[in-house]
Amino acid sequence: MEEWAEKKNKKKIVVEKINLKIGEFTCVEPISLINTFNAAVLGSWLDSSEITIETIPFEGKCSKCNRLYFPKKENGYKSPCCNFNLEEIISGRELKIASIDFKEK
Amino acid sequence: MHLPISDKIELNILHQNSNQAEKNKVKFNNYNLLCLNIMSSPGAGKTRLLEKTLEDLSKKFHSAVLEGDMTTNLDAARLEKLNIPVVPITTGRACHLDANMVSGGLKLLEKKINPDLLDILLIENVGNLVCPAEFEIGEHFKVALLSITEGEDKPLKYPIMFREADLILITKVDLLPHLNFDINELKSNIASTNPKADVIEISSITKSGFDLWQDWISKKILKFKNN
């Protein structure tokens, strides 16, 4: 964030939103991330900003029939179509800052 | 004030860690040093496994250890008795090693020994099945331990750890006769979470499975050195 802000000339901008993409198959709990962010930015140049989180679904591909599916823990992440083990993950591992919304002062 | 502008970033939140991990890996490669990241829950037997492994491994390969621990140097003290270079990394309140900590540990290791002389670096991560799975440290392979006292369901409850692992060691199998534990169910749960992982059943007490584990390490070292 600091590097990005320096490029934009930090003193001349106000960050409104930091938009994140967080996959369902990560070790990140969105509410904890939001609470931590809010605590961390108190009194800083990001004090008035907020983070938004777009949750990216956990999606796998059946290695037998190539169908996409949403793996479930209860089913051992196996494909419902062919009951195959989860080999390929299509999405759900994302941990990204997708974009930053800001205004120029 | 002007209208809001949206700047597309598409940057990994952990990019600083990933960048440092890549630098660590370049260093390991330059030293021709294979690096394993050893992870598990607390008490799964990482330190005991390393003690027993290094008794034999250090006779064949020049070995060193970076020992991650939250508050003590107890594990590092145990491994130092094997007369190999050991660097403790005390993480304080952090529940995992990150790439920066490992970079610091490597610098301390460089003061103890020229890493060019080493074949393998074993990094014992902090006992935790969650965060270590997300933080690359520059390792070539991830090894996850799962002791049979933890239950058959752990690969499903902590899927990212077991999904990320290249090798899963099922530890404490000497306790099998004393527990109501279904090892086939555990293996099935591992396979459904990570069908590509190698799996070895192992006991640091009886040393069953150690031949397979030592063979796995030896092959990885030799392949790495030949590339």
Query: How many beta-carbon contacts under 8 Å exist across A and B?
Result: 81
- What is the model's pTM? 0.91
Summarize the confidence of residues B53-71 as an average pLDDT: 94
Average predicted confidence (pLDDT) for chain B: 95
Binary contact (A97, B13; C-beta < 8 A): yes
Per-residue confidence (pLDDT) for residue B167, from 0 to 100: 98
Average predicted confidence (pLDDT) for chain A: 93
Per-residue confidence (pLDDT) for residue B94, from 0 to 100: 85
Q: Looking at chain A, list the stretches that DSSP marks H as alpha helix, in order from N- to C-terminal side.
A: 2-8, 30-40
Summarize the confidence of residues B126-140 as an average pLDDT: 95
Per-residue confidence (pLDDT) for residue A46, from 0 to 100: 92
CB B192 within 8 A of CB A79: no
pLDDT of residue A104 exceeding 90: no
Q: pLDDT band for position B227 (50/70/90)?
A: confident
pLDDT of residue A77 exceeding 90: yes
Q: Can you tell me whether residue B124 is helix, strand or coil?
A: strand
Which residues in chain A are closer than 8 Å to B2, comparing Cβ atoms? 103-104
Per-residue confidence (pLDDT) for residue B1, from 0 to 100: 55
Percent pLDDT > 90 in chain B is: 89
pLDDT of residue B132 exceeding 90: yes
Which residues in chain B are closer than 8 Å to A2, comparing Cβ atoms? none
Which residues in chain A are closer than 8 Å to B159, comparing Cβ atoms? 25, 73, 77
Task: Report the residue from B2, B7, B193 with minimal CB separation from A77.
Answer: B193
Binary contact (A95, B192; C-beta < 8 A): no
Say which residue, B1 or B109, is predicted with more confidence. B109
Task: Report the residue from B130, B192, B196 with minimal CB separation from A76.
Answer: B192
CB A27 within 8 A of CB B160: yes
Task: Give buried/exposed letters for A74-95 (b at 16+ CB in 10 A, else e).
Answer: eebbbbeeeebbbeebeebbbb
Summarize the confidence of residues A19-23 as an average pLDDT: 96
Task: Report the residue from A95, A101, A105 with minimal CB separation from B14.
Answer: A95
Which residues in chain B are closer than 8 Å to A98, comparing Cβ atoms? 8-10
Q: Which residues of A touch B (CB under 8 A)?
A: 4, 8, 14, 16, 19-20, 25-28, 73, 76-78, 85-87, 89, 95-105
Name which of B11, B16, B39, B95 to mutate to probe chain A: the one with the most chain A Cβ atoms within 10 A of its Cβ: B11
Q: pLDDT band for position A33 (50/70/90)?
A: very high
Name which of B1, B6, B187 to mutate to probe chain A: the one with the most chain A Cβ atoms within 10 A of its Cβ: B6
Chain A contact present for B14, CB below 8 A: yes
Which tokens belong to B45?
């037997």
Chain A contact present for B133, CB below 8 A: yes
pLDDT in tens, B63-72: 999 999 888 8
pLDDT of residue A98 exceeding 90: yes
Per-residue confidence (pLDDT) for residue B207, from 0 to 100: 97
B203 to each of A82, B176, B187, how far by Cα in Å? Answer: 35, 10, 16
Instruction: Measure in Å the smallest separation between the Cα of B58 and chain A Cα atoms.
Output: 35
- Within a 10 A sphere around the Cβ of A11, how many other Cβ atoms? 8
Q: pLDDT band for position B73 (50/70/90)?
A: confident
